Chain A
């Protein structure tokens, strides 16, 4: 068990880049010539300490004469039905790989709002044809020790066959049958559907998946490139055999496909085999619409995916990148190699090697046919999350100044050009490169001239790439981890960012705001209504029970900060007359503002002006009811004016809670009560603001006993995921005598 691969760069990148083969990794090339110079200059930092009795050569040996590497030639032919065939002959092993790439069947061709169709269509190819059952197919390919797989990537669907030479006919017969005549049996679909749903259940608990999936959605906005190719639990449940058959009819055709053979086979044998097994595949006119281009984000947007049991945070930082055929691709390879495209990149050097904050930090451009993304990613223990994130962003900002040392450029070019033969070692690798050139319409000599193109990249070009693609003004940042442990310090580190926050089990990758829609919540059942009532009664009891009925008014001083810890100080002296009247004397930024609700109307007065706030009276009433953790609410519960439905258990701010959706005289909200103490921990509600509705989460804490009742002395309100107001209560008085004049509306005055 090889547990200890030193670097996770590759596997982590692979998880993010959901590619099928036509992804040129870091193409590289033939004759390393200038390579030795850099290495020699850099070297000589050893300790010089040779242990006693050991003899070592002190001088690093010079390079020998480079041996020539020529990118292998592929034979090519187009069949009458339009199928393009490529052959890379390599007789070193008696084995053959065949790869069929269907250019028009990537996940970006999924029907609107139905991601998962392309992927399930591919999966189902090998699960039965018109003449073979799923079992027939697996038995036949397993018997010859081969493999036959199909999967959909963003741009293409790929079907791959690997067999030893003597079983090529068996393999191709199966491959052709599954591509041309899949049956999409409903009962096999149900099996694969369950498999996928189970798989998604596990994926949705994996911070790596969560971070990458949300990052894609955010970067690509509404573009199909941003949607989860495997579908979401909702769409997978809805898939029908008809969806698959239609997708197959509409998107699989030889004139939109390419077939490559690699291995122990001559071009003549391969062309004859292609004709025999794929010659009857009928040509078809396909829809080849270009998907809508994604729109770049503006500003810095941070998504926090809360996974309270995580011990490490998955971090993604990036934005839109380039298309595969973009002329910037080659110089950008060099720039990215310098920034984060290898072990000795700036990013990995700083985050891993120097600071020990991670096991791997990398960056990559993922160029697809019509759009691409750029991501810098890493992962770090929970308490180092902010430091690591800040470091990634700072390094991006530094890169974007365009200041790159000549040695860095040499190092990157030498690596990319030098590694090319290694990445073209096997016939399959060569075939992949040939397919990439054909699929993305790159110049015909692309593969043979790649090393020269890399070596020809100039420092001026690298500078231009750095300035153009690494700027930090507009960024999407996604962090998946135990966010309550770093949320506040993150907001100090990125005070100007827009924040969104969601718990991992509330995620829906298909909705505009990534949240499960309210309707998808549990339907009310007699059981959930009964349980909701029980939870509310337990809460009312824990807060003081009947003794709350003797509370008719309270007064207190609330002090806090508006807009987070570094925000504006605010102080409010409150006078509350239950059930629905309040007077708040606010001091903020040297100004005094009075905000009053008399139960029927509300107004705000400042500097002699009064404005009507009745449209927002719900805000006043909710506030009155929930002060101190809900004394007003409990009075309503005890009076029976609140209806409730239990909505499940949830962990909030590290505490296990029981959730209840309520309808009360002040409106609707979801309330979360601590499972241990039964006291109100949090509430989620839609707040009306002058800027429009906003999703709020309010949290209470610092409960203390006041005359036998429990009152929360701290309060925090999050608006759209960001800390909006944080405050504490002083000088609480119960049943103070309040003057009626506090709630009397002043006569309207003309504005001055």
Chain B
């Protein structure tokens, strides 16, 4: 109904997907079921994670390549994502777009997505086609072959994707603007969609180079979840992927750590398609799976988990200055940002929003969180672990993140325990450490003059 709110949720909740299980005294009624996966590594370095789930005769296959937009060289932003599109444009034994056609012909879905740290390709399909899908993924890993014409045409598709997600979308530029100001060196400076100018500069030679550098079995993790026999699946995996050699050299990583931020940064932007003022504060926070990420994640539940949360209650319900207010941590492989944001009601200023956001965050530093409120935050985490793992695809995603970013697939079963150990003192401490002006980038978005104060009649 309110689609623009969904956009925000899409942008933000994607980052906050948790993953894992409790070691504490949870009753069976609230215990997320253990994921009894098996992990293997082939001789060429390909990680393989298998999890049998036989309830429905379907399988989800995912291939995660450990390369994302943060690995892009300067002047080539958006390339990892453009490349992801090209992985559908043909290989030695599969024609352009045939991969998708084969998946659809067997009654399956397929898709792929590019993130800051990784790129994943996935399909869900009837379980009697597992061999075929593994073969398809192996063929493009071993022999991607894209024509110049398909490269150019797909680049236009990606530019349309940028227009629909960013340029033509109300508030579509916020993430770009915030990150560009918050990161001066690190690859998180830009978002996966990249810039139009850089997309135009990309060449087919770049495509080949990128493929030969990053799309190697020793940089990939294969996850299979669903209705199959593990022994058989492993045999097929070896048969189809085993002939693809590991890279001769280690996978290159950019050495570009973000220097410690010393002072608050403030950026002001004005757009014609953002009719209400908005403010986003990005605080530098540590990486995913690090100890401090857990109290920070619970803090985000306290700040924004439902209509009883502090930001909603203060900015939206009580003071009614904002139509939406939330806070969440974008926890990634390298340190990223904790977002606190508000979209203001007509007549309210972004500056008032900033002041209110900071006020609510300050309370976390000055008063210990009530144990009951912390329990609520933990309950939200527990149910997230249960409700967020309903499908084979959900489970495969959790395994992929734990394995590729966390370097330990068993995090899917142990991570909830880390949340449950957090104390009020932990939350107070991380709030004091991280929610400080010196680590903050403030983005103020105002409507252009033409739109100011207007509302549709």
Residues of chain A whose beta carbon lies under 8 Å from any beta carbon of chain B: 1-8, 11, 15, 18, 28, 32, 35-36, 38-39, 42-51, 53-69, 90, 92-95, 119, 134-135, 138-139, 141-147, 151, 162-166, 191, 194-209, 229-230, 232-234, 309-312, 342-344, 349, 352-359, 379-381, 411, 414-422, 424-426, 428, 505, 507-508, 516, 520, 649, 651, 656
Asked if residues B160 and A312 are in contact (CB atoms below 8 Å), the reply is: yes
Asked if residues B345 and A1 are in contact (CB atoms below 8 Å), the reply is: no
Query: Given A3-B115, A6-B113, A191-B320, 16 other A-B contacts at CB below 8 A?
Result: A42-B98, A43-B98, A46-B90, A50-B92, A56-B93, A57-B239, A57-B240, A94-B386, A134-B307, A144-B383, A198-B345, A229-B1, A311-B167, A353-B153, A381-B160, A422-B126
Asked, given contacts A46-B94, A54-B143, A353-B97, whether A209 binds B132 with beta carbons under 8 Å apart, the answer is no
Enumerate 13 A-B pairs (CB-CB under 8 Å) in ascending A order: A6-B88, A15-B3, A35-B126, A135-B313, A138-B307, A142-B380, A195-B323, A199-B323, A206-B4, A232-B456, A356-B157, A358-B157, A507-B456
A508 to B244, CA, bound (A): 60
Asked if residues B170 and A422 are in contact (CB atoms below 8 Å), the reply is: no
**A-contacting residues, B144-194, CB 8 Å:** 145, 152-161, 163-165, 167-171, 175, 191-193
Residues of chain A with a CB closer than 8 A to B381's CB = 145
Stretch at the interface among B104-112, B352-360, B435-443: B104-112
B202 to chain A, nearest CB (A): 14
| Chain B residue at minimal CB-CB distance from A426 | B390
Asked if residues A1 and B102 are in contact (CB atoms below 8 Å), the reply is: no
A49 to B390, CA, bound (A): 40
Asked if residues A28 and B107 are in contact (CB atoms below 8 Å), the reply is: yes
Asked if residues B391 and A191 are in contact (CB atoms below 8 Å), the reply is: no
Contact pick for B275, options A48, A194, A205, A342, CB 8 Å: A205
Give 9 nearest A-B pairs by CB, closest first.
Answer: A418-B107, A45-B95, A55-B243, A145-B383, A356-B156, A138-B307, A142-B306, A198-B323, A67-B57
Asked if residues A421 and B138 are in contact (CB atoms below 8 Å), the reply is: no
| A-B contacts, CB under 8 A, total | 389
Residues of chain A with a CB closer than 8 A to B94's CB = 43, 45-46
Q: Mark B30-50, 1 if CB is under 8 A from A, else 0.
A: 111100000000000000000
In the complex, whether B396 has a CB less than 8 A from a CB of chain A is no
A584 to B303, CA, bound (A): 73
Residues of chain A with a CB closer than 8 A to B14's CB = 1-2
Stretch at the interface among B251-259, B281-289, B447-455: B447-455
Q: Mark B183-211, 1 if CB is under 8 A from A, else 0.
A: 00000000111000000000000000000
In the complex, whether B213 has a CB less than 8 A from a CB of chain A is no
A431 to B239, CA, bound (A): 40
Asked if residues B455 and A201 are in contact (CB atoms below 8 Å), the reply is: yes
In the complex, whether B27 has a CB less than 8 A from a CB of chain A is yes
Residues of chain A with a CB closer than 8 A to B90's CB = 45-47
In the complex, whether B125 has a CB less than 8 A from a CB of chain A is yes
B433 to chain A, nearest CB (A): 24
Asked, given contacts A32-B107, A44-B95, whether A119 binds B192 with beta carbons under 8 Å apart, the answer is no
Asked if residues B273 and A205 are in contact (CB atoms below 8 Å), the reply is: yes
User: Which among B27, B276, B387 has the highest number of chain A CB atoms within 10 Å?
Assistant: B387
Asked if residues A95 and B387 are in contact (CB atoms below 8 Å), the reply is: yes
Residues of chain B with a CB closer than 8 A to A56's CB = 92-93, 138-139, 142-143, 240, 243-244
Residues of chain A with a CB closer than 8 A to B276's CB = 198, 201-202
A230 to B10, CA, bound (A): 21
Contact pick for A145, options B11, B109, B379, CB 8 Å: B379
**A-contacting residues, B354-380, CB 8 Å:** 372, 375-376, 379-380
Contact pick for A119, options B1, B30, B108, B273, CB 8 Å: B1
Asked if residues B107 and A516 are in contact (CB atoms below 8 Å), the reply is: no
Asked if residues A60 and B163 are in contact (CB atoms below 8 Å), the reply is: no
**A-contacting residues, B399-457, CB 8 Å:** 450-451, 454-457
Chain B residues within 8 Å of chain A by Cβ, number: 136
In the complex, whether B116 has a CB less than 8 A from a CB of chain A is yes
Asked if residues B275 and A201 are in contact (CB atoms below 8 Å), the reply is: yes
Contact pick for A344, options B95, B97, B131, B239, CB 8 Å: B97
Residues of chain B with a CB closer than 8 A to A119's CB = 1
Asked if residues B58 and A166 are in contact (CB atoms below 8 Å), the reply is: no
Residues of chain B with a CB closer than 8 A to A90's CB = 55
Asked, given contacts A43-B94, A166-B27, A380-B160, whether A3 binds B114 with beta carbons under 8 Å apart, the answer is yes
A234 to B457, CA, bound (A): 6
Residues of chain B with a CB closer than 8 A to A380's CB = 160
Residues of chain A with a CB closer than 8 A to B456's CB = 200-201, 204, 232-233, 505, 507
In the complex, whether B124 has a CB less than 8 A from a CB of chain A is yes
Contact pick for A138, options B28, B158, B306, CB 8 Å: B306
A411 to B175, CA, bound (A): 40
Asked if residues B29 and A206 are in contact (CB atoms below 8 Å), the reply is: no
Asked if residues A381 and B159 are in contact (CB atoms below 8 Å), the reply is: yes
Residues of chain B with a CB closer than 8 A to A424's CB = 56
In the complex, whether B297 has a CB less than 8 A from a CB of chain A is no
Contact pick for B113, options A3, A18, A36, A45, CB 8 Å: A3
Asked if residues B227 and A67 are in contact (CB atoms below 8 Å), the reply is: yes
A299 to B239, CA, bound (A): 59
In the complex, whether B266 has a CB less than 8 A from a CB of chain A is no
**A-contacting residues, B127-147, CB 8 Å:** 127-132, 134-136, 138-139, 142-143, 145
In the complex, whether B335 has a CB less than 8 A from a CB of chain A is no
A100 to chain B, nearest CB (A): 18
Asked, given contacts A8-B161, A63-B132, whether A421 binds B58 with beta carbons under 8 Å apart, the answer is yes
Residues of chain A with a CB closer than 8 A to B157's CB = 352, 356, 358-359
User: Which among B85, B138, B384, B386 has the highest number of chain A CB atoms within 10 Å?
Assistant: B386
Asked, given contacts A66-B126, A422-B124, whether A142 binds B30 with beta carbons under 8 Å apart, the answer is no
A49 to B93, CA, bound (A): 8
Asked, given contacts A46-B98, A165-B29, A312-B168, whether A58 binds B93 with beta carbons under 8 Å apart, the answer is yes
Asked if residues B455 and A197 are in contact (CB atoms below 8 Å), the reply is: yes
Asked, given contacts A51-B142, A95-B383, A164-B383, whether A2 binds B113 with beta carbons under 8 Å apart, the answer is yes
Asked if residues A356 and B272 are in contact (CB atoms below 8 Å), the reply is: no
A342 to chain B, nearest CB (A): 6
A59 to B240, CA, bound (A): 11
Asked if residues A312 and B455 are in contact (CB atoms below 8 Å), the reply is: no
Residues of chain A with a CB closer than 8 A to B131's CB = 61-62, 64
| Chain A residue at minimal CB-CB distance from B378 | A145
Asked, given contacts A1-B175, A6-B88, A358-B157, whether A46 binds B95 with beta carbons under 8 Å apart, the answer is yes
User: Which among A53, A69, A142, A352 has the highest number of chain B CB atoms within 10 Å?
Assistant: A142
Residues of chain B with a CB closer than 8 A to A66's CB = 57, 126, 128
Asked if residues B58 and A425 are in contact (CB atoms below 8 Å), the reply is: yes
| Chain A residue at minimal CB-CB distance from B31 | A94
Residues of chain A with a CB closer than 8 A to B111's CB = 5-7
Asked if residues A38 and B382 are in contact (CB atoms below 8 Å), the reply is: no
| Chain B residue at minimal CB-CB distance from A206 | B170
A58 to B244, CA, bound (A): 13
User: Which among A51, A162, A205, A516 has the highest number of chain B CB atoms within 10 Å?
Assistant: A205
A306 to chain B, nearest CB (A): 13
B189 to chain A, nearest CB (A): 14
Contact pick for B108, options A1, A62, A417, A419, CB 8 Å: A419
Asked if residues A39 and B240 are in contact (CB atoms below 8 Å), the reply is: no
A334 to B10, CA, bound (A): 31
Asked if residues A381 and B139 are in contact (CB atoms below 8 Å), the reply is: no
A12 to chain B, nearest CB (A): 8
In the complex, whether B23 has a CB less than 8 A from a CB of chain A is no
Asked if residues A1 and B11 are in contact (CB atoms below 8 Å), the reply is: yes
| Chain B residue at minimal CB-CB distance from A107 | B1
Asked if residues B309 and A354 are in contact (CB atoms below 8 Å), the reply is: no
Asked, given contacts A1-B14, A5-B113, A415-B105, whether A32 binds B160 with beta carbons under 8 Å apart, the answer is no
Asked if residues A421 and B126 are in contact (CB atoms below 8 Å), the reply is: yes
Contact pick for A230, options B1, B191, B375, CB 8 Å: B1
Asked if residues A60 and B132 are in contact (CB atoms below 8 Å), the reply is: yes
Asked if residues A3 and B153 are in contact (CB atoms below 8 Å), the reply is: no
In the complex, whether B91 has a CB less than 8 A from a CB of chain A is yes
Residues of chain B with a CB closer than 8 A to A50's CB = 92, 142-143
